[in-house]
Amino acid sequence: MGMTITEKILAAHAGRPAVEPGEIVTCKVDLVLGNDVTAPVAIKEFRKIGVDRVFDPERVALVASHFAPNKDIAAATQAKEMRDFAREQGIRHHYDVGDMGIEHALLPEKGLTVPGQVIIGADSHTCTYGAVGAFSTGVGSTDMAAAMATGTAWLKVPETHRFVLRGKLGRWVSGKDLILYLIGQIGVDGALYAAMEFDGPAIRSLSMEARLTVTNMAIEAGAKSGIISPDEVTLAYLRKRAQYPLRLYRSDDDARFARTYEFDVSRLEPQVALPFMPENTRPISEVGDVPVDQVFIGSCTNGRIEDLRIAASLLKGNKVHDGVRCLVIPATQGVYLQAMREGLLEVFLEAGAAVSTPTCGACLGGHMGVLAEGERCLSTTNRNFPGRMGHPKAEVYLASPAVAAATAITGRIAHPEEVARHVA
Amino acid sequence: MSPEAGRSEPLRGRAHTFGENIDTDRIIPARYLTRHDPAFLAQHCMEDEDPTFASRVQAGDFIVAGPNFGCGSSREHAPISIKAAGVAGVIAPTFARIFFRNAINTGLPILECPEAVAGIEPGDDLEVDFATGAIRNLTRGVEYQARPLPEFVLEIVAAGGLIPYVRRQLGTAS
Ligand code: SF4
ipTM here? 0.89
pLDDT the model gives residue A299: 98
Q: Which of A48, A126, A193 sits opposite B97 (nearest CB)?
A: A193
Of B135, B130, B133, whose CA–CA distance to B119 is shortest? B135
Q: What is the mean pLDDT of chain A?
A: 97
Q: What percent of chain B has pLDDT over 90?
A: 78
Beta carbons of A276 and A385 less than 8 angstroms apart: yes
Mean pLDDT to the nearest integer, B55-77: 95
pLDDT bin (cut points 50, 70, 90) of residue A423 is low
Rg (CA), chain B: 15
Nearest CA residue ID for atom 4, ligand 1: A300
Is the pLDDT reported for residue B79 higher than 60?
yes
Q: Using an 8 Å CB-CB cutoff, list chain B residues near A44.
A: 36
The neighbour count for residue A393, using CB atoms within 10 Å, is 14
Average confidence (pLDDT) over A35-59: 97
Per-residue pLDDT at A366 exceeds 50? yes
Residue range A313-357, pLDDT digits in tens: 999 999 999 999 999 999 999 999 999 999 999 999 999 999 999
Query: Sign (positive/negative) of CA torsion A203, A208, A213, A216?
Result: positive
Longest dimension (CA), chain B: 47
The predicted pLDDT at position B6 comes to: 46
For residue A149, pLDDT over 50 is answered with: yes
Q: For B128, which DSSP code?
A: E
| B148 has a pLDDT exceeding 80 | no
What is the band of B9 on the pLDDT scale with cuts at 50, 70, 90? confident
CA A371 vs CA A76, A293, A395, A411: distances in Å: 22, 9, 9, 16
Looking at every residue in chain B, the average pLDDT score rounds to 91
Q: Please tell me which residue of chain A has the smallest CA distance to B34.
A: A75
Can you list the domains of chain A with their CATH numbers? Answer: 5-241+257-263 (3.30.499.10), 273-419 (3.30.499.10)
Cα–Cα distance for residue pair A3/A195, rounded to 1 Å: 13
Report the residue among A38, A66, A356 best suited for mutation to probe ligand 1: largest number of ligand atoms under 8 A from its CB: A66
Q: What is the predicted pLDDT for the residue at B159? A: 86
Evaluate if residue B8 carries a pLDDT over 70. Answer: no
Amino acid at residue number A404 = A
- Segments in B24-96 forming alpha helices (H): 24-27, 38-43, 53-56, 77-84
Contact criterion met (CB < 8 Å) for A387 and B94 = no
Burial class (CB in 10 A: 0-12, 13-18, 19+), A86: buried
Q: What pLDDT score was predicted for residue A317?
A: 95
In short, whether A36's Cβ falls inside 6 Å of ligand 1 is no
Mean pLDDT value of segment A36-41: 96
CA distances from B56 to A70, A404, B109 (A): 34, 42, 20
CA B6 – CA B132 distance, rounded (Å) = 9
- Among the residue ranges A100-104, A200-204, A319-323, B170-174, the one predicted with the least confidence is B170-174
Please determine, for residue A232, whether its predicted confidence score (pLDDT) is greater than 80: yes
Q: In what order do the strands lie in the sheet with B11-17?
A: B110-112, B89-92, B62-64, B11-17, B125-129, B134-137, B142-145
| Pick from B21, B96, B105: CB nearest A142 | B105
Q: Quick one: average pLDDT of B145-161?
A: 84
pLDDT band at A211 (very low <50, low <70, confident <90, very high): very high
Mean pLDDT of A228-236: 98
| pLDDT at residue B2, rounded to an integer | 43
* Distances from the Cα of B65 to the Cα of A15, A73, B74, B90, B94, angstroms: 39, 35, 19, 8, 9
CA-atom Rg of chain A in angstroms: 20
Q: Are A174 and A212 in contact (CB under 8 A)?
A: no
How far apart are alpha carbons A260 and A242 in whole angstroms? 32
pLDDT class of A241 with cuts at 50, 70, 90: very high
Half-sphere exposure (Cβ direction) of A2: Cα atoms closer than 13 Å: 12
Q: What is the pLDDT of residue A424?
A: 55
> How far does chain A reach from its first CA to its final CA, in angstroms?
50
Q: If you average pLDDT over residues A358-370, what whole number do you get? A: 95
Nearest to B85 by CA among B22, B13, B10: B13
DSSP-derived letter for residue B72 is S
pLDDT tens across A68-88, in order? 999 999 999 999 999 999 999
Which of B104, B166, B167, B168 is the mutation pick for testing A, counting most A CBs within 10 A? B166
Find out whether the peptide bond into A276 is cis, omega within 30 degrees of 0.
Answer: yes
Question: In angstroms, rounded to a whole number, what is the distance separating the alpha carbons of residues A164 and A167?
Answer: 10
Query: What per-residue confidence (pLDDT) applies to B95?
Result: 95
Mutate to test the interface with B, among A188, A277, A279 (most CBs of B within 10 A): A188
Q: What is the pLDDT of residue A422?
A: 64
In one-letter notation, the amino acid at residue A355 is V
Q: List pLDDT tens digits, range A86-144.
A: 999 999 999 999 999 999 999 999 999 999 999 999 999 999 999 999 999 999 999 99
Element (H, E) at B104: helix B97-106
CB A115 within 8 A of CB A242: no
Q: How far apart are the first and last CA of chain B?
A: 20
Whether B106 shows a pLDDT value over 80: the answer reads yes
